Structure 1
Amino acid sequence: MGWGVGVALFAAANAALWVISSRINRSIEAAVPPEGRFIEVGGEWIHYVDEGSGPALVMIHGLSGCGRNLTYALSPRLREEFRVISLDRPGSGYSSRRPGAGVDIPAQAALIAEFIGKLDLDRPLVLGHSLGGALALSLALNHPQSVCGLVLVAPLTHPQPILPPVFLSLGVRPAFLRRWFAQVLAAPIGLLGRKALIRAVFAPESPPHDFAERGGGLLGLRSRNFYCASSEIATVNDDLPDMVRRYPSLKLPVGLIYGSRDRVLSHRKHGESMLGKLPDLCLEIVEGAGHMLPVTAVEPVVELVRSIALRAKPQPCLAVDLAAPVLGTS
């Protein structure tokens, strides 16, 4: 086979795979459409779901996820007590990410701080799951005026030099190879392995049968979502060492909850190790649970949210007028 023939076959295969990927992306979006609102923040269109009433609670999902991961089971339990805002991070779900936009932890935290300001949420409670936990910590460190307390659910808190096995496919470098892989291979490969991928994220627990659609699991298989998640993986360890050094400076209440059998992030490295670093930390370990606590351990997460909300914004005490007469005395 001549060189020219090989190039032609490669180009034809790429074109065919691009067409297949485009069809897969469209079918996923038809099966899992946007369910919330859009707002322009920092040049991006951020998709979010705003439900309930009461004190504001902003919820941030993890790597390759979307807001539906948190609205699947968690927000229905919280919206009767809180105004719950679940957002798609830039480049995830239905939120945009402009070419060249920062994907590092501080850049995303800065955009979330602007999002909080745009919605005039004052200083909300912020819940972050997995990578969303790292963003929540960065938000508190760099934008303390944007948060009153943190609830960290199976969070990434320390550098993770070795990728968790479930995310090994995201470690595509350099950037040009990542873009090519995302455009022609990520969606077909992801669709073929979607059941195994979801099982691995939930392990050792079993995922709900409808998580791919109602929980948004399918959205992470799209080409652009793969590219964004892979780009985040490439930079995620850059800022964590400095964040770890600064954790003791945080002066707000923090709740941290982990599953004892989490196979994505170690509860010892990313959970128990925080006990000596955060001055006002409440740590809970859920025995036997895995990584997807917002779906599999809803009640413990809800109780932790309630606890941190009370500590973050104490109820005002009733003032007593000492000069006033006391009822019931002669």
Structure 2
Amino acid sequence: MSTIGKLTAGAAVTALSALSGLALFTAWNSRRAERLVPADGHFVQVDGATLHYADIGRGPPIVMIHGLGGQLRNFTYALSETLARDHRLIIVDRPGSGYSTFSAGTKDRGLFAQARMIVDLITALGIERPLLVGHSLGGAIALAAAVQFPQRIGGLALLAPLTQPIETVPDVFKALSLQSPVARAAIAWTLAAPLSRARPEAAQAQLFGPEEAPADFETRGGAALTLRPAAFQAAAADVEACGVDMPILARRYGELSLPVGILFAKEDRILNFADHGPPTAQAIAGAELTAITGGHMFPLTQPALTGEWIRARAAAVGG
């Protein structure tokens, strides 16, 4: 073998070893995440997915949907404690997130499809016209549920919701902008976990800022599950789905006639208040917009304030 051939072969072996090492680290990190954050609730099969959800408390029902890359512990971290005293809370892992999985062969995994699956869960549990709470991307899915199934939803309480098409993905989610499923899988199994674990402070500063991220967000907040390959790939597909579905969804806000409340922090570093708050409140008849100080993750950092606001929204729909 020539010198060039030997060098090429050596480089290939080195690259393969590096990729194998990254894949092994990712597999180890996934097992670690599931030990740190085990499944907390129940499972139910709906058309297209198996959904993992927590059922907490008694009283008028509230169904809660988390955002991009999140998991139901985003709500059980603190917010559920303030609401479960007088409400039944159904807190669901969105399809593809946490411990909820799409069924094999499910092709439509967009926002409208996920909304339908959430409504199927509501039907399966025998819940009548609940208040639907959605945080961030969960807000978009709550809106998609309301425009498709207005007779099944009592009202919406939207927390820092994604409500309008966005041209630029926030920096913390840039890696999720890959269009190719093959590229998503490659990144998910190699670079996503080690790079994110190397500098968690940068991501948390954007997610939580100007507020401080809780020290136990990885475990009590469920964030450890985000770096599993399947979760990364699902989140990347969610970003792509937003580009397709959000323009369609935003054009339908005028159809809504149910009670809608929007709670937004003006210092949000993920979704701009001016883009997603006032325009949406104006497009939905009777919608009420409340602005507070804080960051995107105020359901974790300000649970008492958020809980009281949600309780008032529940009262407005008769719950």
Residue equivalent to 1:229: 235
1:198-249 residue CA offsets vs partner (Å, 9 max, x unmatched): 2321011001111111011111122111111011112212111222221011
Q: Give the Cα–Cα distance (whole angstroms) in 2 for the partners of residues 201 and 154 of structure 1.
A: 12
Structure 1 residue 78 corresponds to structure 2 residue 79? no
Q: 1:147 to 1:35 in 2, by over 3 A?
A: same
SS at match of 1:236: helix
CA contact (8 A) 2:37 2:224 kept: yes
Structure 1 residue 122 corresponds to structure 2 residue 128? yes
SS at match of 2:239: helix
2:27 to 10, 18, 22: 22
SS at match of 1:121: coil
SS at match of 2:56: strand
1:145-173 residue CA offsets vs partner (Å, 9 max, x unmatched): 32110000000000011001121121123
Counterpart amino acid of 1:278?
A: I
Is the deviation greater in 3-12 or in 171-180?
3-12
Structure 1 residue 62 corresponds to structure 2 residue 60? no
Q: Give the Cα–Cα distance (whole angstroms) in 2 for the partners of residues 161 and 146 of structure 1.
A: 32
Cα offset, 1:4, TM superposition = 4.5
1:274-323 residue CA offsets vs partner (Å, 9 max, x unmatched): 23211121110003x11012112223322222222222127xxxxxxxxx
Q: Give the Cα–Cα distance (whole angstroms) in 1 for the partners of residues 104 and 227 of structure 2.
A: 19
Structure 1 residue 140 corresponds to structure 2 residue 159? no
Q: How does 1:272-287 map to 2 (within 5 A)?
A: 272-287=278-293
Is the deviation greater in 294-303 or in 278-287?
294-303
2:273 to 255, 267, 280: 267
Residue equivalent to 1:211: 217
CA contact (8 A) 1:255 1:304 kept: no
Q: Give the Cα–Cα distance (whole angstroms) in 2 for the partners of residues 55 and 95 of structure 1.
A: 25
Structure 1 residue 299 corresponds to structure 2 residue 301? no
Larger Rg: 1
Q: Give the Cα–Cα distance (whole angstroms) in 2 for the partners of residues 216 and 12 of structure 1.
A: 31
CA contact (8 A) 2:42 2:54 kept: yes
RMSD over equivalenced CA pairs, Å = 1.6
Q: Give the Cα–Cα distance (whole angstroms) in 2 for the partners of residues 177 and 311 of structure 1.
A: 46
SS at match of 1:256: strand
CA contact (8 A) 1:124 1:149 kept: yes
Cα offset, 1:30, TM superposition = 0.8
Cα offset, 1:43, TM superposition = 4.1
Residue equivalent to 2:157: 151
Cα offset, 1:5, TM superposition = 4.4
Q: Give the Cα–Cα distance (whole angstroms) in 1 for the partners of residues 9 and 60 of structure 2.
A: 65
Counterpart amino acid of 1:45?
A: T
Q: Give the Cα–Cα distance (whole angstroms) in 2 for the partners of residues 63 and 99 of structure 1.
A: 22
SS at match of 2:55: strand
Q: Give the Cα–Cα distance (whole angstroms) in 2 for the partners of residues 117 and 298 of structure 1.
A: 28
Give unpaired runs (5+ residues) of structure 1: 315-330
1:38-68 residue CA offsets vs partner (Å, 9 max, x unmatched): 1112242211111000011000000000000
Q: Give the Cα–Cα distance (whole angstroms) in 2 for the partners of residues 90 and 111 of structure 1.
A: 8
Is the deviation greater in 299-308 or in 26-35?
299-308
TM-score when normalising by structure 2: 0.94
Residue equivalent to 1:178: 184
SS at match of 2:123: helix
Q: Give the Cα–Cα distance (whole angstroms) in 2 for the partners of residues 23 and 242 of structure 1.
A: 40
Is the deviation greater in 233-242 or in 299-308?
299-308
Is the deviation greater in 37-46 or in 177-186?
37-46
Q: 1:132 to 1:228 in 2, by over 3 A?
A: same
CA contact (8 A) 2:262 2:288 kept: yes
Residue equivalent to 2:99: 94
Q: Give the Cα–Cα distance (whole angstroms) in 2 for the partners of residues 61 and 309 of structure 1.
A: 18
Q: Give the Cα–Cα distance (whole angstroms) in 2 for the partners of residues 192 and 170 of structure 1.
A: 17
Is the deviation greater in 187-196 or in 257-266?
187-196
Residue equivalent to 2:52: 47
SS at match of 1:213: coil
Is the deviation greater in 228-237 or in 292-301?
292-301
Residue equivalent to 1:239: 245
**% identical aligned pairs:** 39
TM-score when normalising by structure 1: 0.91
